[in-house]
Chain A
Amino acid sequence: QQQVKQSPQSLIVQKGGISIINCAYENTAFDYFPWYQQFPGKGPALLIAIRPDVSEKKEGRFTISFNKSAKQFSLHIMDSQPGDSATYFCAATDYNAGNMLTFGGGTRLMVKP
């Protein structure tokens, strides 16, 4: 059973545009929601993370929006750049069940110059 569903699977955005990636979760015990960025041949790297007591978190061009009642969260990349082209994974953890990450399926983002 996929506990974190991510969409879209792939996304093409023009340079300067806004990239939006959505995730939905089922387990209401999840209490930490990080986003990871992965370039080819590299391991995932933490981009930004949010806890459910906050509805929005912004770091530079990256913003997480969190809707606890809908069990959804999304990543917005403002002013998307070709260097942002990578695969993005949302994830969630339930601290009381162990700190392992449950990942969404990933979104391959391509930002066209």
Chain B
Amino acid sequence: EAGVTQSPTHLIKTRGQQVTLRCSPISGHTSVYWYQQALGLGLQFLLWYDEGEERNRGNFPPRFSGRQFPNYSSELNVNALELEDSALYLCASSLRGTQETQYFGPGTRLLVL
């Protein structure tokens, strides 16, 4: 069974640009979570999507947004990139509305110059 996949693996952008990251959950999983792993700041929760709806968001500005598609895949969009947005962006999926294991993808490493 395929795990959580993310694309692209690496990305380089400049300040002010916009970026879109993509995530495909494990088959059968309807919940998708996004986390940011920035150097020195650990793993921080960004967004939670379930059944196409945003269910919760972490303490991040509105320029971080996303959506979930009918096939449960998800996009994370970051507008007006800032240097401090440089991080590993991790997507995780789980069965809907449970405390079942969140399975993580390999992440997208974003560098903002």
Contacts and interface: CB of A to CB of B under 8 A. Distances in A.
A100 B58 contact: yes
Interface stretch (B63-71, B76-84, B100-108): B100-108
B interface SS class: strand
Contact of B48 (A91, A100, A102): A100
Given A34-B101, A46-B103, A100 B56 contact: yes
Contacts, number: 58
B44 A99 contact: no
Interface residues of B, number: 25
A106 B41 CA distance: 10
A43 B97 contact: no
A8 to B, nearest CB: 14
Contacts of B31: 99
Contacts of B55: 98
Interface of B: 4, 31, 33, 35, 42-45, 48, 55-56, 58, 90, 92, 94, 97-99, 101-107
Q: What 10 A-B pairs are tightest by C-beta distance, nearest first?
A: A43-B104, A98-B56, A100-B45, A103-B43, A32-B99, A105-B42, A46-B101, A44-B104, A43-B106, A43-B105
